[in-house]
Amino acid sequence: MKHIELLNLHKSFGPKHILRGASLGIEKAETMVILGGSGTGKSVLLKCLLGLEKLDSGEIHIDGKPTHTLHGEARMELMTHFGMLFQGAALFDSMPVWENIAFLLLRRGMTPKQAKAAAIEKLEMVGLKPEVADQAPSSLSGGQRKRVGLARAIAHSPQIILYDEPTTGLDPVTSDVINNLILQTQKNLGCTSIVITHDMTSAFKVANRMAFLKEGQFLEVGTPKDFRTTANTTLRNFIEGRAETNE
């Protein structure tokens, strides 16, 4: 059984038909990289998976059970199985770093003291010092903010981690630190991961398998080797960063 199954997903915003029958199966504990141009619906796909956007049609199954139909308490419970690293890290500047990380733990009724200790443990997992716990997110560098975002994503030991463009806007060295953290987190938690990226170095470094989203569907799904040697010109142009011509 697949861990996550996306079946024939459709999603429109007004006249814009974004997802047009996207189907993809993701195995337990694999890292699936999703490639696709800007505005093709990669973030929308993640939001549909989380239930933050409603599908027009199609089904999402996790561990063989439909999840696209869940509401209320059942959906909240499902959300606790996910960790999400948002594009731009999306930290609350009004809270110190540790509260950002321990947000869900506090909501679940952990005492502030326990939650702060748990947050510091996660900070260490992502290579930050305990002192960072009391700092404001606005005082951190881009790379540090990403690390804090990752610490928050893993704070509740989720089974599925979603990364939306984790290395976009970072320099190559910091990007590599994040790539290593993605690999290490997979090892530590044994989680299933979905990584959306335009960064081919990152894609080939972290992927077990890859999927190429084009015009609302998955045009190709395969191993990094399959992608490197693809005969599909559209995919090859994308990977090699060449604009498509109509010649």
Ligand X SMILES: Nc1ncnc2c1ncn2[C@@H]1O[C@H](COP(=O)(O)OP(=O)(O)O)[C@@H](O)[C@H]1O
Which chain residues interact with ligand X by CB under 6 A? Answer: 13, 16, 18, 36, 38-44
Member of 43, 159, 208, 234 binding Mg ion (CB under 5 A):
43
- Rounded to whole angstroms, the Cα distance separating 24 from 46 reads 12
Q: How many residues does the chain have?
A: 247
How many C-beta atoms surround the C-beta of residue 180 within 10 A? Answer: 13
Looking at the Cβ atoms of 84 and 189, the one nearer to ligand X is: 84
Considering CB distances under 5 to 8 angstroms, the limit depending on partner class, which of ligand X, Mg ion, none binds residue 38? Answer: ligand X
DSSP letter string, 130-175: GGGGGS-GGGS-HHHHHHHHHHHHHTT--SEEEEESTTTTS-HHHH
Looking at the Cβ atoms of 44 and 49, the one nearer to ligand X is: 44
In the chain, where does DSSP find H-type helix?
Answer: 42-50, 72-79, 97-107, 112-125, 142-154, 172-189, 200-206, 224-228, 233-240
- Rounded to whole angstroms, the Cα distance separating 129 from 25 reads 38
Considering CB distances under 5 to 8 angstroms, the limit depending on partner class, which of Mg ion, ligand X, none binds residue 170? Answer: none
Considering CB distances under 5 to 8 angstroms, the limit depending on partner class, which of Mg ion, ligand X, none binds residue 40? Answer: ligand X
- Tell me which stretch binds Mg ion (CB under 5 A): 28-36, 38-46, 217-225, 238-246: 38-46
Considering CB distances under 5 to 8 angstroms, the limit depending on partner class, which of ligand X, Mg ion, none binds residue 51? Answer: none
- Tell me which stretch binds Mg ion (CB under 5 A): 39-47, 108-116, 182-190, 215-223: 39-47
Smallest separation (angstroms) from ligand X to the CB of 196 = 7
